[in-house]
């Protein structure tokens, strides 16, 4: 059986700019930061946390999407996934299309961390009142497979249903696995992506203790600054990205709007360290090379790379050098633009890969490359690449590559291109 072509027919997102792909895209094209001081809540003690900034998903009402009674049974990461999936499914017009075989529609919407808030809340109950006071919904509210499960239940999708857990590469691996499954005939349509909601004492406190988060509490909008010499860590964010992937002929037959085609998927392991990337970038290099080979493209065929670019000291250097080795530096390949949209929306952990693939799709459809903001003084150790500093750029983008790298050394590269 030959590999089938796979296209993207629906997009959905919840980000620090609110619910909706249009608000997300308009904001990052404008170079607007979604990072701010964390809002007070029962889930975080701002007086005792060293870090008090994050990219929280706000400016929308969850009640507009999920019945309050049902929402209480879900951790926030599940709720965010449901909102993003609702937009993507409506965008693809799947509910309007009557001739659907539910066993040919799958769901792979994953999370890296799962229900941190639910875990924290019920841990407090155990300490204060004993284990019997745990909510009966604790387990189904916190386990990472529940976004996929809940989405399938709501829409009646009975095909393959699973999740991928690979830290910050989770969302990208989910899209990649959906791509492969459709290529080889396991499904005709798959709703795929990732979601995360770790803005709570457990999430912020633990990542801060690991010395990975920026402590620029007094300047939230300037805290995420990939490739800048004054960067001091990434900024945690929450949200979800969901895409509808569909077999090309299937999409054409039902008259679906097609945004772009998924053409390449590369995945490797550093086999090096639980947190730090390989200094020589070997795993990242191979991931990108495998994606290019899978797509049948050369480095010169790619106009834009959405970098993992977390604003960490080691990560930015290793990835940038890897990109330069694959694609050439600014002098060798002047047509290549590279940017880190995390400079604006922060790091959505398991949700970030899917959100950034959406940014690549929009770069192709709109021929605009989003910027890397806060790049005031480029670190001399990062590769000499065009990081699109400060302002978005009109540029014809025929193909784009998105990188996502996770703790544990798990690397993923996805290539999308215009049809």
Q: Are 339 and 371 in contact (CB under 8 A)?
A: yes
Q: Are strands 189-196 and 105-110 parallel, antiparallel or unpaired?
A: parallel
CA distance linking residue 411 with residue 270, whole number of Å? 8
Which of 250, 347, 360, 412 is labelled catalytic?
347
φ/ψ of residue 193, rounded to 5: 160, -155
* Helix, strand, coil tally for the chain in percent (to 5): 35, 20, 40
Which of 168, 200, 360, 412 is labelled catalytic?
168
CA distance linking residue 400 with residue 406, whole number of Å? 20
Place of tokens 């949700």: 351
Active-site annotation holds for 390: no
Which of 173, 250, 308, 345 is labelled catalytic?
308
SS (H, E, C) 238-266: CEEEEEEEEEHHHHHHCCCCCCEEEEEEE
Place of tokens 């999308």: 416
Place of tokens 């989003």: 370
Place of tokens 């950034």: 356
Q: Are 168 and 353 in contact (CB under 8 A)?
A: yes
Question: How big is the chain, counted in residues?
Answer: 419
CA distance linking residue 278 with residue 286, whole number of Å? 12
Q: Three-class SS of residue 107?
A: strand
Assigned token pair, 99: 């001739």
Active-site annotation holds for 347: yes
Q: What angle do CA 221, 224, 227 make, to 5 degrees?
A: 135
Active-site annotation holds for 134: no
φ/ψ of residue 59, rounded to 5: 65, 30
| Cross-strand partners of 417 | 261, 399
Catalytic residue positions, numbered: 168, 308, 347
């Amino acid at each position: 059986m030959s590999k089938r072509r796979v296209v993207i027919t629906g997009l959905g997102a919840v980000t620090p700019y609110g619910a909706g792909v249009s608000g997300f895209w308009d904001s990052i094209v404008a170079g607007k930061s979604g990072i701010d001081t964390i809002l007070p809540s029962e889930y975080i003690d701002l007086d005792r946390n060293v870090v008090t900034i994050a990219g929280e998903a706000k400016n929308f009402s969850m009640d507009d999407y999920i019945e309050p009674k049902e929402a209480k049974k879900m951790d926030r990461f599940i709720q965010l996934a449901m909102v993003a999936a609702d937009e993507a499914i409506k965008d693809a017009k799947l509910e309007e299309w009557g001739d659907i075989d539910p066993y040919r529609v799958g769901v792979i919407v994953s999370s890296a961390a799962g229900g941190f808030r639910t875990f924290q809340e019920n841990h407090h109950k155990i300490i204060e009142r004993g284990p019997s006071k745990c909510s009966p919904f604790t387990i189904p509210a916190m386990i990472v497979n529940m976004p996929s499960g809940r989405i399938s239940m709501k829409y009646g999708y009975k095909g393959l249903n699973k999740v991928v857990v690979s830290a910050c590469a989770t969302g990208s691996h989910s899209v990649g696995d959906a791509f492969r499954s459709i290529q080889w005939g396991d499904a005709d349509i798959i709703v795929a992506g990732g979601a995360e909601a770790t803005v709570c004492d457990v999430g912020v406190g633990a990542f801060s203790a690991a010395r990975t988060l920026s402590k620029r509490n007094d300047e939230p909008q300037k805290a995420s600054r990939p490739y800048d010499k004054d960067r001091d860590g990434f900024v945690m964010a929450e949200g979800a990205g969901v895409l509808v992937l569909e077999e090309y002929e299937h999409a054409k037959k039902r008259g679906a709007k097609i945004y772009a085609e998924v053409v390449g998927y590369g995945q490797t392991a550093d086999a090096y360290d639980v947190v730090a990337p390989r200094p020589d970038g070997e795993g990242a290099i191979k991931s990108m090379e495998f994606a290019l080979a899978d797509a049948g493209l050369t480095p010169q065929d790619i106009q834009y790379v959405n970098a993992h670019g977390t604003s960490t000291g080691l990560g930015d250097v290793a990835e940038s050098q890897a990109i330069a080795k694959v694609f050439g530096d600014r002098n060798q390949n002047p047509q290549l633009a590279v940017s880190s949209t995390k400079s604006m929306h922060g790091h959505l952990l398991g949700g970030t890969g899917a959100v950034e693939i959406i940014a690549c799709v929009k770069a192709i459809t709109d021929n605009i490359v989003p910027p890397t903001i806060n790049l005031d003084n480029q670190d001399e150790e990062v590769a000499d690449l065009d990081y699109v500093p400060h302002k978005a750029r009109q540029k014809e983008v025929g193909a784009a590559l998105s990188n996502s790298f996770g703790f544990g050394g798990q690397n993923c590269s996805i290539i999308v291109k215009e049809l």
